[in-house]
């Protein structure tokens, strides 16, 4: 049976930011597809390009940004780059929702949360004030906020961090989007609340058959929560595979370093956390070879001279960019 057409296609997308006489390659020829109802995790350190990639999909890149050809973003068969700004804003606001990583900054501090939830429904769906308010009650209950009748008239500062994040999720879901982008949705939340928010997103996704892009710097967060995982470094995807396959057969050295940095419950008390040495590369002066080579303990001369491309070694959906990959089943 023929595989259905993807909901989202990102093809050779680049985002370059002029900075004086230099060009910052924030995103460099990134490609992936996402099916309806599926979750793609984007994982990497801060500055790896995850958030900029999400903003590019939403059309929220800085005004000075350059998107060189032949990069394309196709959503539900529509080339977003071919749309007028107003048409794209209408499509993204209604059919693509985004959960930002800092709810306190994302919410208007002087506007009650009920009005903030209602606004997209009134603008995109043409609901009346009463209709939108009633729907806002339903959304607050759906995201697990108790006493919605009281909370709806609260200001953001009157809510806890976890409740504010739930409000941001309610706003993102207000117009029943087909795709939800969750950009580090558990930042600054304690571990228990993080799990609650991630479980909530998974439940809402299943109920609505949404596709989702889940952004995180922590491989441990996406384990068991994403169908496929793409690891980003220096604006590029350096490894991508079905999540179970990625954890079973990590090949790229950077992916392995991220995994080794996850704290473990069976570590001895007071054990030092494993860190990735060195600094992230300057995106305006990327090396000729592998961008991770200066931080990689296994790098050789070829790694500094020639950049590896994404290749597969038998599993068609598992690709990685590394000249000297981790051995299958090995810990190094």
Stretch 205-213: mean pLDDT = 95
What is the number of other CB atoms lying within 10 angstroms of the CB of residue 226? 24
**What is the C-alpha radius of gyration for the chain, rounded to an integer number of angstroms?**
21
For residue 229, give every residue at least 6 positions away whose Cβ sits within 8 Å of its Cβ, in sequence order, or none: 40, 41, 43, 219, 222, 240, 241, 242, 243, 246
* Domain 8-263+285-320 bears CATH identifier 3.40.630.30: no
Annotated domain spans of the chain: 8-263+285-320
Pairing status of strand 319-320 against strand 236-242 = antiparallel
Give 91-134 pLDDT, tens digit per residue: 988 999 999 888 888 899 999 999 999 999 999 999 999 999 99
pLDDT at 4: 82
pLDDT at 12: 97
Give 185-199 pLDDT, tens digit per residue: 887 778 888 889 999
pLDDT at 109: 95
Give 148-197 pLDDT, tens digit per residue: 999 999 999 999 989 999 999 999 999 999 999 999 988 777 888 888 99
pLDDT at 1 over 70: no
């Amino acid at each position: 049976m023929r595989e259905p057409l993807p909901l989202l296609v990102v093809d050779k997308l680049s985002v370059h930011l002029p900075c004086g006489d230099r060009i910052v390659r924030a995103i460099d020829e990134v490609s992936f597809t996402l099916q309806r109802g599926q979750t793609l995790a984007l994982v990497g350190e801060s500055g790896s390009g995850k958030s900029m990639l999400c903003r590019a999909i939403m059309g929220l890149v800085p005004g000075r940004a350059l998107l060189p050809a032949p990069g394309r973003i196709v959503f539900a068969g529509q080339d977003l780059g071919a749309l007028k700004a107003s048409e794209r804003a209408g499509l993204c606001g209604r059919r693509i929702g985004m959960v930002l990583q800092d709810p306190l900054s994302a919410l208007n501090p002087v506007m009650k949360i009920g009005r903030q939830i209602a606004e997209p429904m009134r603008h995109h769906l043409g609901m009346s004030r009463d209709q939108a308010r009633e729907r806002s009650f339903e959304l607050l209950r759906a995201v697990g906020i108790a006493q919605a009748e009281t909370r709806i008239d609260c200001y953001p500062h009157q809510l806890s961090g976890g409740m504010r994040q739930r409000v941001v999720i309610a706003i993102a879901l207000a117009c029943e989007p087909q795709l939800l982008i969750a950009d580090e949705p558990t930042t600054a939340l304690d571990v228990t609340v993080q799990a609650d928010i991630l479980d909530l997103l998974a439940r809402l996704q299943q109920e609505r058959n949404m596709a989702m892009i889940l952004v995180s710097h922590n491989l441990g967060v996406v384990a068991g929560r994403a169908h496929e995982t793409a690891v980003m470094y220096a604006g590029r995807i350096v490894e991508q595979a079905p999540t179970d396959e990625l954890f079973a057969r990590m090949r790229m050295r950077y992916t392995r370093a991220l995994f080794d940095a996850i704290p473990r419950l069976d570590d001895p008390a007071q054990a030092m956390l494993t860190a990735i040495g060195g600094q992230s590369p300057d995106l305006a002066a990327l090396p000729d070879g592998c961008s991770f080579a200066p931080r990689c303990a296994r790098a050789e001369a070829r790694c500094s001279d020639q950049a590896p491309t994404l290749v597969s070694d038998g599993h068609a959906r598992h690709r990685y960019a590394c000249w000297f990959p981790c051995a299958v089943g090995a810990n190094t």
